Amino acid sequence: MKLDLSSLRSIKAFADDFKALSLPLNILINNAGIMFTPFELSQDGHEMQFATNHLGHFYLTNLLLDTMKETAKASGIEGRIVNLSSIAHRYPYRKGIKFDHMNDKKSYNDKMAYGQSKLANILHANELSRRLREEGANISVNSVHPGVIMTNLMRHSTLLMNILRIFTCVIWKNVPQGAATTCYVALHPDLKGVSGKYFVDCNECKPSKLARKEALGKKLWDFSNQLIKESKNM
């Protein structure tokens, strides 16, 4: 099914079409992403890396959440949501999320903007996990770093990535290896009931200090909802 994670209109259309099929939804893996892109605004007017890597997944998850809750309740099987983050979440802008200057072209840095979006993935997962626990929903939410993988994701920084690969070749993964942690968190029975955690190489890992700030996660949640609301009113 067609889906453009940088477009809120596309996401809404996808969610409506999916729900019209009346299918169950057990697992949601938020995997779309762009990396180190030149400054650009999405069609909704948001910085493109933040729009695609975080806001699109945030909106999609919210639209599909009731279906996941219904599936988990009807089947008795835990639903699982997995956000693909990155080790780059440790290298965002100084305060983590540029709430007041998200679309400022002059201060834009493609590497830190990517780190900001990956930090947002973890904060989103943690805050959603907290909310679902309070609600008593049978759904876990976790985030993962899949590893350093040579894919088309690197297309905006080919020279830099090729140089880095020469000196860090032993840590690079192929695509199946890169998918392993995501599949583990989404499927392994040992992780039943485990939620609000961050995983690297199929092991729980402590994310950055910013990623563990509950207040920052709550602020990002409200900020994201406000951006979506404003975009829908445009």
- Is 1 within a domain? no
Q: For residue 20, which of 62, 58, 74, 67 has the smallest C-alpha distance?
A: 67
Residue 52 maps to a domain: yes
Residue 2 lies in a domain: no
The answer to whether 198 and 144 are in contact (CB under 8 A) is yes
Any domain includes 3: no
User: 56-75 and 214-232 are packed helices; what angle lies between their axes, rounded to 10 degrees?
Assistant: 100
Which residues carry out catalysis?
108
The per-residue pLDDT for 212 is 98
**What is the number of structural domains in the chain?**
1
pLDDT in tens, 22-74: 999 999 999 988 999 999 999 999 999 999 999 999 999 999 999 999 999 99
Closest of 211, 198, 224, 14 to residue 123, by C-alpha:
211
Burial string for 119-157 (b: 16+ CB within 10 Å, else e) reads bbbbbbbbbbbbebeeeebbbbbbbbbbbbeeeeebeeb
Above 60 in pLDDT, residue 216? yes
What local confidence, expressed as pLDDT, does residue 93 receive? Answer: 97
- Structure tokens, 184: 């583990």
pLDDT for 119-164, tens place per residue? 999 999 999 999 999 999 999 999 999 866 565 555 555 555 555 5
CATH of the domain at 99: 3.40.50.720
Query: CA-CA distance, 11 to 57, in Å (whole number)?
Result: 9
pLDDT of 173 higher than 90: no
Nearest to 35, CA basis, from 20, 24, 55, 50: 50
SS3 166: helix
Domain residues for the domain of 217 are 8-232
User: What is residue 177's predicted lDDT score, i.e. its pLDDT?
Assistant: 80
